[in-house]
Each structure stands twice: as C-alpha cells, then as structure tokens.
Structure 1
Amino acid sequence: MCKMSLVRTIRNDTVSSVLNRDVKQYGKKYMFDSNEETCWNSDQGECQWVILEFPQSVKVSQLKVQFQGGFSAKTCKLEGCPREGDFTMISHFYPEDNNSLQSFPIQEAPAVDKVKIMFENSADFFGRIIVYSLDVLGEKAS
C-alpha cells in the first residue's frame, strides 16, 4: 500500500472544542501547519474529537499524533464512515503521555469518506487535549 499524507486533501475538518473559543491562538488548523510552536488546544470535557472529511474515499493505514505531555489521551478510537452514513469503529490505539511524535498502524481499514478520531480519558484532570501535530496516512480507495 502506498502511504501518503491524506491531510493535504482534507475537504472539511471539525473539532469538539477550542480552549476559550480562541481559534486564533489554539484553533484546529495548527494540528496541520508543521510548526512545532503551534497546537490545537481543546476546552475541558470528557471526550474530545477531530473529524476529517475527504473529497473521495480513502483507506487509512497509519495515524501520527504528537500531544503535549500531561494533555494526551490515554485511549483513542478511530472511526470511519461513508459520505452519508454512520460512523463505525475501525481501531483503538493507546498513546503514551509524552511530547514525542507517536505512530499507530491501522490494520485493514475499510474505504471511508470521513474519519473521527476520539481522544478518550485525557491525562489532564479537566479533560483537555493538546495536539501539536496530526497526520493521517493512507491511500485513495479505488
């Protein structure tokens, strides 16, 4: 499988929240800007998430995410769906609570038009998540 970054092809992206609604300083775009000084910072809450919508069906083969230590998720869930369908479970993954770029292979993912990455059980007492970098690798589905 040819792995390429799919984030450059994102048609739409949404997040569960932004800290104090301050999108200029902590908005979702900072997960994809390749700048190690910027980040998406969620507001507090039990389960934070990111939804990415692609212009055509894709098969995800790997996720890469860099959290801020102390503000990572202990368990994460990748879900996917067709353009007009319901999200279904693809994979669980379990990040470490540190600042390093972490990689998670995704086995036999179905072709999907949207993915939802759920950040569950934050290391932060208030449920905040801080993501410096998020990348989705895979290929266009034939």
Structure 2
Amino acid sequence: MPEAPLICSETASRVSSVLHRDAKQFGKKHMFDGSEETCWSSDQGSSQWVTLEFPQTVQVSRLQLQFQGGFACRLCTLEGCRKGEELVKILDFYPDDVHALQSFPVQGATLDRLRITFARSTDFFGRIVVYHLSVLGEKL
C-alpha cells in the first residue's frame, strides 16, 4: 500500500513550548497548515519535543521535517507506543541545518502515539523552528 499522510484533524498534538507563549503567531498548528509563511517556534531550552496522538493505530514509514536554517536540530529521537503503554525509542536521526524539506525512513513502527525529541539544536539558546511536519505511512 502506498504511503499516505497520517496527521488529520482528529490527531492530537502537543509541544514542549511556544516562543513567548504566542500560540497565535508561533503555535503548533502552523506545522500542519501547509503554509510556507507560518511555523512552530519553540522557546529556549535544551530539549524540545512534539507529541502526536493518532485517532487510530498507524504504521509509520516516513517522517518529513522542514526546519528554519540556524534553528534546526542535529539529533532527533523518535519514540512511540500503543495506547496505554510507555513510549519506547524507535530511532535516532540526524537532520541537516537547512531550510529544505528533509525525509527520514522509519521501519516497523506500529503505534498510536509518537514523540519527536529535538535534543541538540543548532541555535545557541536551544530554539527549534519547524515549518512543516508530516508523518507518512498506513492507517491500520
């Protein structure tokens, strides 16, 4: 079966922080709105994260991320779990510090919830800026 976008209007999302608590301008919704003009911008901190809870079980095959150059992440960790379970590490991946859309394959991740942790920001203050986040795979 071909890859399909897994994030939908029923997918619940949470983020570690929002720059100046200004969700209207820098909130999490901007990662999923398809606009090249808007973004999620985290506040300062050593580790930022995004959590997604899907309305049904999914099998993830690929992540796509677009950072703002200078506010990217050198080390990201993907964790996931089924309903009622604890998050477990699936993989580490290493994005480039560029503004281009980057794609990362994921093998055998069947889950209801996932978390992407941005462990090492390229910004001195630990801020992360994400213009686009997409999770691709199959709904089960």
1:92, CA displacement in angstroms?
Answer: 1.0
Residue 140 of structure 1 deviates from its aligned partner by 1.4
Compute the displacement of 1:9 (Å).
Answer: 5.3
Take 1:18 and 1:119, find their aligned partners in 2: how far apart are those partners? 14
Amino acid at match of 1:87: L
- Give the equivalent residue in structure 2 for 1:123: 122
Q: Structure 1: how far apart are the matches of 2:51 and 2:59? A: 15
Paired amino acid for 2:129: I
1:16-55 matches, cutoff 5 A: 16-55=16-55
Q: Which residue of 2 aligns with 1:138?
A: 137
TM-score scaled by length of structure 2: 0.97
Which position in structure 2 is the counterpart of 1:4?
4
Map of 1:43-122 to 2, 5 A cutoff? 43-109=43-109, 111-122=110-121
Equivalent pair of 1:9/1:55 in contact (CA under 8 Å): no
My pick for the range that moved more, 86-95 or 1-10, is 1-10
Structure 2 alignment gaps of length 5 or more: none
CA, structure 1 residues 9+2, in 2 after alignment: closer, same or farther (shift >3 Å)? farther
TM-score (norm 1): 0.95
Partner SS, residue 91 of structure 2: strand
Q: Please, which runs of 5 or more residues in structure 1 have no aligned partner?
A: none
Identity %: 56
CA distance in 1, matches of 2:92, 2:78: 6
Aligned residues: 140
**What's the offset of the Cα at 1:19?**
0.2
